[in-house]
């Protein structure tokens, strides 16, 4: 009997030990899953120069080279300059708020992931899909812009062929490992950088009378027809309405400035390279964008007949670019075609950036369980299922081949029109939760890889700015005789879609706002902690390298 009791006691001891071991294994598995959650299996192949030029390319595109002409003609030089400057300050707030989170936890396409962890899973869901659509619809839009730009030169190429060429090139680049995409953006970014520096110098020379025409312009066009134009009303109210109308166009022009953060999950040494790119985004916008706009507003009158005719007749390509008009007015030959070629490369590069970014945002949403699991499929560091999804929506550009299709495409593209402001607002709300979560968990911001300045004031300002502009950007629809589906729906439809999806997900999934005590600030952090310090630190050996390292 004693022997039987000992055997039974031994068996119970073994069962208890097995249960403890199994429990420890389960806890270990859960912890391992949490440590790698949202990390994915993409490769960190983007170098510092790739990231720096992605940051540059995201902010400078057709909005500067062509779109600025419409803004100048509508609002006048001073209104244009001030609105773009104020919007640049808002970009500074958004990018620095997002940059602090991304440097701490650099995950692929991380924006919706942060929203799920720090605010509410419903916000992560709607932000992931809204952000993906905003970026993905940019691909067919930029393909369409590229076709229009080609029409600047007389040609008989079928539009269907051009659509296929431009779209197929984007798909092929994004089917290769991410380093190929990085090299493509580096080349196109270098072209943009060289062009914008050249244009800044050229506009300065023209305004001082250095063009073949010899006309010394100075501030002539700021005095006549004046610094601020009127819109819808006369007097001070009309000038304010024109000034306010610029903000939404300026926001669209700057849209994509945060793309560098989307690539943080594929960036080498992200805790050094991401803050480096973030710090320089605003100054590059200020130097290259604001300075270029200021100088071209000196060289071209907002009432210039060439500018107004080009806009009225929807002239293709660079024909409506204020830079080209300034060059033509100065009597300089050949350069307009060169500028048009740069505009073409900018349009395609912007579409390529939208394509890349949309696939990473969708991949992040799939990893987080907010999109179908098959979208997590990747090979050679490329999320091919997400590439396929973005390619499918990009086929919408073929709708522009007939008039009925153009009308439908107008609605598709404008659904995402105000999405930039909605996304920026969500990013800053997420940052405020991250800020409070750090404080609640006793994590000092001084210990972070990057501590953005003036927080949380920057995030509060950005939320206020984005909400006000989003709510009032369609004000002209409410003026007598102006109300129609085309004037009311595009400015506001995305707000209703965003709120509807958010509330719908909360009701179906019964999610709740994340408490500060339950906030997940650690999942995925172990992976980057292990890699930190494995990348060599680059130190400039001379003045030229110091300049190059600042640029790239």
Token output for 107: 């995950």
> How many angstroms separate the CA atoms of 510 and 515, rounded?
15
pLDDT of residue 482: 82
Name, in order, each residue with C-beta under 8 angstroms of 485's C-beta and a sequence gap of 6 or more. none
* CA torsion, ordered 265, 270, 274, 277, to nearest 10 deg: -110
Q: Give me the count of residues in the chain.
A: 552
Is the model's pTM score more than 0.75? yes
Max Cα separation, the chain? 117
Q: 447 vs 331, 451, 526, 537, CA distance in Å?
A: 57, 8, 16, 20
pLDDT of residue 428: 94
Burial of 328 (0-12, 13-18, 19+ CB in 10 A): middle
- Which of 397, 369, 374 shows the shortest CA–CA distance to 386? 374
pLDDT of residue 269: 73
Q: 274 vs 7, 94, 152, 444, CA distance in Å?
A: 62, 14, 38, 20
Based on DSSP, count helices (H) and strands (E) in the chain, helices before strands: 25, 0
Kindly give the confidence (pLDDT) of every residue in the chain, 552 residues in length, as a single tens digit, with 9 standing for 90 and above: 444 455 445 554 544 444 344 444 443 443 444 445 555 555 565 666 667 777 666 667 667 777 777 888 888 899 999 998 999 899 899 989 988 888 888 877 678 888 888 999 889 888 888 888 888 887 888 887 788 778 778 878 888 888 888 889 989 988 888 788 788 878 887 888 888 888 889 889 988 888 887 778 888 889 888 888 888 888 889 899 989 988 888 887 787 777 777 766 667 777 777 787 787 777 777 777 888 889 988 888 888 777 766 656 666 656 677 888 888 888 887 777 888 888 888 888 888 888 888 888 888 888 878 878 888 887 877 888 888 889 988 888 887 776 555 555 556 656 666 788 888 999 999 999 999 999 998 888 888 888 888 889 999 999 999 999 988 888 888 888 888 877 888 888 888 888 888 999 888 888 888 888 888 888 777 777 676 666 666 676 777 767 666 665
pLDDT of residue 532: 65
Question: Do the Cβ atoms of 200 and 295 come closer than 8 Å?
Answer: yes
pLDDT of residue 465: 94
Question: Do the Cβ atoms of 305 and 79 come closer than 8 Å?
Answer: no
Ramachandran assignment for 390, one of left (phi > 0), alpha (psi -120 to 50 degrees), beta (any other): alpha
pLDDT of residue 368: 77
| E runs forming strands in 89-175 | none
């Amino acid at each position: 009997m004693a022997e039987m009791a000992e055997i039974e006691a031994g068996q119970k001891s073994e069962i208890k030990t097995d249960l403890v071991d199994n429990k420890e294994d389960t806890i270990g598995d859960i912890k391992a899953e949490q440590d790698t959650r949202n990390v994915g299996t993409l490769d960190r192949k983007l170098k510092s120069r790739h990231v720096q030029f992605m940051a540059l390319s995201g902010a400078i595109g057709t909005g500067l080279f062509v779109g600025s002409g419409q803004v100048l003609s509508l609002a006048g030089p001073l209104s244009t300059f001030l609105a773009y400057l104020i919007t640049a300050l808002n970009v500074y707030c958004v990018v620095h708020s997002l940059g602090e989170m991304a440097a701490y936890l650099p995950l692929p396409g991380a924006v919706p992931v942060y929203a799920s962890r720090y605010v509410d899973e419903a916000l992560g869901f709607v932000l992931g899909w809204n952000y993906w659509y905003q970026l993905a619809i940019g691909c067919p839009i930029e393909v369409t812009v590229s076709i229009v730009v080609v029409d600047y030169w007389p040609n008989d190429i079928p539009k269907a062929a051009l659509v296929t060429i431009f779209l197929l090139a984007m798909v092929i680049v994004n089917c290769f490992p991410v380093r190929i995409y990085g090299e493509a953006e580096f080349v196109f970014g270098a072209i943009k950088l060289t062009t914008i520096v050249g244009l800044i110098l050229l506009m300065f020379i023209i305004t001082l009378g250095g063009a073949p025409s010899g006309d010394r312009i100075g501030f002539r066009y700021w005095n006549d027809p004046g610094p601020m134009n009127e819109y819808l009303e006369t007097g001070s109210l009309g000038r304010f309405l024109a000034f306010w109308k610029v903000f939404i166009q300026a926001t669209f022009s700057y849209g994509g400035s945060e793309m560098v953060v989307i690539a943080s999950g594929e960036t080498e040494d992200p805790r050094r390279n991401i803050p480096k790119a973030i710090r320089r985004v605003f100054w590059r916008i200020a130097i290259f964008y604001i300075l270029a706009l200021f100088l071209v507003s000196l060289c071209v009158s907002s009432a210039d007949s060439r500018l107004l005719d080009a806009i009225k007749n929807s002239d293709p390509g660079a024909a409506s670019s204020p830079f080209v008009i300034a060059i033509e007015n100065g009597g300089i030959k050949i350069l307009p075609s060169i500028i048009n070629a740069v505009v073409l490369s900018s349009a395609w590069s912007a579409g390529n950036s939208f394509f890349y970014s949309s696939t990473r945002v969708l991949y992040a949403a799939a990893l987080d369980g907010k999109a179908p699991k098959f979208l997590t499929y990747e090979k050679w560091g490329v999320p091919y299922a997400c590439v396929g999804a973005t390619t499918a929506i990009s086929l919408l550009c073929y709708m522009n081949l007939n008039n009925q299709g153009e009308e439908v495409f107008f609605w598709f593209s404008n659904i995402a029109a105000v999405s930039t402001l909605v996304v920026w607002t969500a990013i800053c709300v997420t940052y405020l939760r991250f800020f409070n979560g750090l404080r609640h968990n006793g994590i000092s911001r001084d210990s972070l890889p990057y501590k953005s300045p003036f927080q949380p004031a920057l995030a509060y300002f950005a939320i206020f700015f984005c909400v006000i502009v989003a709510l009032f950007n369609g004000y002209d629809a409410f003026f007598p005789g102006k109300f129609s589906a085309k004037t009311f729906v595009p400015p506001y439809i995305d707000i209703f879609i965003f709120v509807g999806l958010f509330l719908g997900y909360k009701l179906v999934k019964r999610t709740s706002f994340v408490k500060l005590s339950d906030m997940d600030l650690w999942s995925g952090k172990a992976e980057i902690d292990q890699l930190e310090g494995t990348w060599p630190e680059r130190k400039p050996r001379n003045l030229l390298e110091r300049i190059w390292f600042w640029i790239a």
